[in-house]
């Protein structure tokens, strides 16, 4: 399969030269063998090759060289008893045969190409629908939080992705903020992400008093939903606007960054939790901290920090911190936009390898 794909990428003139060289070799072998062995049937092989990979125009051109080679072999090896009428009749028959073969192969190739295009269009339509559905899973409205401004975005590597961010009201004074990353990307990861979204939103209020138990339930869901080949990192937090405290559990996710405006320093939000979907009976730990006015929280997935440049160097966490410092105290939206702009510039045009997701929260 890979060989076929490699051949299809070659210029047509290269393929034609290769086919022509094959005809010359056949002609020499045909001449050496004399009348003992006919190589005529083998001439169809380079013709089939060039028609399939370069088109019927090249096939007809190559046929001319085949006929010349066959005619010369016939003339020089059987010249003493040559019947010209029979010779031209044979050429006419062979020309008809080659023409039939060329048109048949060309029609077959076109039919296969048309079928493949139809399948691609069908898949593209289905992915487009899946993308629209997945976009609806992300927050469609932002609950108003006293003295808090926040913004989230997800830039999938494919039409759909496995990254997840969310925010929703838990109680009059509490709002949940979450971010997750299903292993891999594409449709299978997107389906698992959809299941995670549904479970989190439907069970968050029930287990709000104990985030450890809540993460245990989320982990069990992931373990039951996969065969072990898929897992996810997940960070879940609840912010209380009255007490200005943040309770959180980190299940193997990149530790969100807390930028303290007073000290102009960074803290990482860790609880040493294992990924969800890995171990059924893992006991998670929670933590809490107090936030001050003008503090900035940044949740992100590894698609940001693990972007590579042309020298195969990672973007890294230090560059991410530098963007925050350089753009603070801009709005969460502006900071997210600056980070994406910086990461895309760092990759220098390389295709996006993983989903990129950001969630920024700033206290006023």
b/e for 42-72, b at 16 or more Cβ within 10 A? ebbebbbbbbbbbbbebbbebbebbeebbee
The residue whose two tokens read 């009749």 is: 89
Residues 219 and 286 in one domain: yes
Contact present, 298 and 358 (Cβ < 8 Å): yes
pLDDT digit string, tens, across residues 190-211: 888 888 888 999 999 999 999 9
- Which of 107, 130, 153 lies at the terminal end of a domain, its last residue? 130
Residue 327, domain CATH:
3.60.40.10
Residues 152 and 111 in one domain: no
Residues 29 and 115 in one domain: yes
Count of the separate structural domains present in the chain: 2
Neighbours of 128 (CB within 10 A): 12
pLDDT at 37 (0 to 100): 58
Q: Could you tell me the residue range of the domain that residue 211 belongs to?
A: 138-363
Residues 164 and 272 in one domain: yes
CA 132, 134, 136, 142 torsion-angle sign: negative
Residues present in the chain in total: 364
Q: Tell me the percentage of the chain whose pLDDT exceeds 90.
A: 45
pLDDT at 78 (0 to 100): 56
- Which of 84, 105, 130 lies at the terminal end of a domain, its last residue? 130
The residue whose two tokens read 């050429």 is: 91
- Which of 102, 130, 158 lies at the terminal end of a domain, its last residue? 130
Residues 76 and 199 in one domain: no
Structure tokens at 102: 């060329």
pLDDT digit string, tens, across residues 57-70: 888 888 888 878 77
DSSP E strand boundaries for the chain = 148-155, 163-171, 174-182, 232-240, 245-251, 257-260, 265-268, 287-290, 296-300, 356-363
Residues 112 and 150 in one domain: no
Q: Which residues contact 72 (CB under 8 A, 6 or more apart)?
A: 27, 31
238 φ/ψ angles, rounded to the nearest 5 degrees = -130, 125
Residues 110 and 220 in one domain: no
Residues 167 and 118 in one domain: no
Residues 304 and 217 in one domain: yes
Contact present, 105 and 45 (Cβ < 8 Å): no
pLDDT at 81 (0 to 100): 56
Residues 54 and 145 in one domain: no
pLDDT at 39 (0 to 100): 59
Residues 26 and 164 in one domain: no
Residues 126 and 145 in one domain: no
**pLDDT beneath 70, residues of the chain:** 1, 34-40, 73-87, 90, 185, 228
């Amino acid at each position: 399969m890979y060989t076929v794909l490699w051949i299809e990428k070659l210029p047509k003139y290269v393929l034609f030269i290769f086919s022509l060289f094959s005809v010359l070799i056949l002609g020499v072998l045909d001449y050496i063998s004399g009348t003992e062995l006919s190589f005529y049937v083998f001439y169809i092989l380079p013709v089939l090759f060039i028609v399939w990979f370069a088109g019927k125009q090249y096939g007809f051109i190559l046929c001319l060289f085949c006929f010349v080679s066959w005619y010369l072999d016939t003339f020089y090896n059987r010249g003493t008893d040559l019947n010209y009428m029979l010779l031209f009749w044979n050429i006419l028959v062979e020309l008809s045969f080659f023409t039939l073969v060329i048109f048949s192969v060309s029609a077959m190739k076109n039919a296969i190409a048309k079928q493949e295009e139809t399948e691609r269009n069908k898949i593209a339509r289905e992915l487009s629908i899946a993308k629209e559905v997945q976009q609806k899973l992300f927050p469609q409205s932002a609950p108003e939080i006293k003295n808090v401004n926040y913004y989230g975005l997800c830039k999938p590597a494919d039409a759909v992705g496995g990254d997840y961010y969310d925010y929703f009201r838990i109680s009059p004074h509490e709002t949940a903020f979450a971010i997750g990353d299903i292993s891999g990307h594409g449709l299978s990861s997107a389906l698992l992400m959809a299941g995670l979204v549904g479970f989190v939103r439907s069970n968050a209020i029930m287990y709000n008093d104990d985030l450890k138990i809540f993460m245990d339930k989320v982990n069990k869901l992931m373990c039951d939903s996969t065969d072990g080949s898929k897992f996810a990192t997940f960070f879940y937090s609840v912010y209380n606007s009255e007490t200005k405290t943040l309770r959180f559990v980190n299940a193997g996710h990149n530790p969100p960054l807390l930028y303290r405006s007073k000290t102009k320093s960074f803290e990482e939000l860790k609880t040493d939790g294992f990924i969800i979907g890995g171990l059924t009976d893992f006991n998670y730990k929670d933590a809490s901290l107090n936030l001050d006015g003008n503090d900035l929280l940044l949740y992100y997935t590894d698609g940001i920090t693990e972007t590579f440049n042309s020298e195969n160097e990672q973007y890294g966490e230090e560059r991410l911190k530098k963007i925050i410092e350089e753009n603070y105290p801009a709005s969460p939206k502006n900071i997210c936009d600056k980070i994406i702009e910086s990461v895309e510039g760092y990759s220098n045009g390389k295709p996006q390898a993983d989903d990129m997701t950001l969630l920024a929260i700033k206290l006023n």
